[in-house]
Structure 1
Amino acid sequence: MSSDRPTATAPGVLTAPGRRPLSGLLAVLLLACAVLLGTGSVTPARAADATPATKATGASIAEALKTSPVYVDPAFAAAVTPAQQQQLAEQIAATGLPVKVVLVPLQKGDAFDGRAKAMAAVVQERLGQSPLIMITSDDYGSWLNGYEWPADNAHQARDAANAVALIKELKDAGLAAKIGRAIELIGTGKGTEVYKAEADRVDREHAARAQTEDHADSPSASSSATGPFAIVAVLVLALVIGSALLVRSRRKPRHTAFTFPDAVFAADRAADEAGLRRQAADEVLALGTALDGADGATTPGLSRALDAYDAAGRVLDRADGLPDLAGVLALAAEGRAALAAEPRLPLCFFDPRHGTAARRTTWRPLGRRDRVDVAVCTDCGQALKARRSPQVLAVRDHGRTVPYFEVPAERSLWAATGYGSLLSGPDDTLAARVGSGEFSRAATRRQAADHKD
Structure 2
Amino acid sequence: MPSKTRRRATLVLAVLVALVATLFAAGSARAETDVDKIGQALRSRPVYVDPRASDALSTQQARTLADRIRAADVPVYVAVLPDDRAYGGERIFLRLREATDRPGVYAVALGSSFGAASDASVLPGSTSQALAEQNLRRHPGDLPKVLDGFVADVAAAIHGRSADGDQGAPDSTGSSMGAALVLLIILVVLAGSALFAMGRTRKRRRERERAELEQVRGAVQEDITAYGEKLSGLAFNPSDPSSTPEMVDDYGRALDAYEKAKTKSDTARRPEDVRAVTEALEDGHFSLAVLGARREGTPLPERRPPCFFDPRHGPSVRDVTWAPAGGAERSVPACAADATRVEQGLDPDARTVPVGGERRPYWEAGPAYGPWAGGYFGGYGAALLPALLVGTLLGGSLSPGYDEAGAFGDAGDYGGFGDGGDYGGGFGDGDFGGGFGGGFGDGG
Per the normalisation by structure 1, the TM-score is: 0.32
**TM-score (ref. length: structure 2):** 0.32
Higher RCO (C-alpha 8 Å, min separation 6): 2
Compare CA radii of gyration and give the structure with the larger one. 1
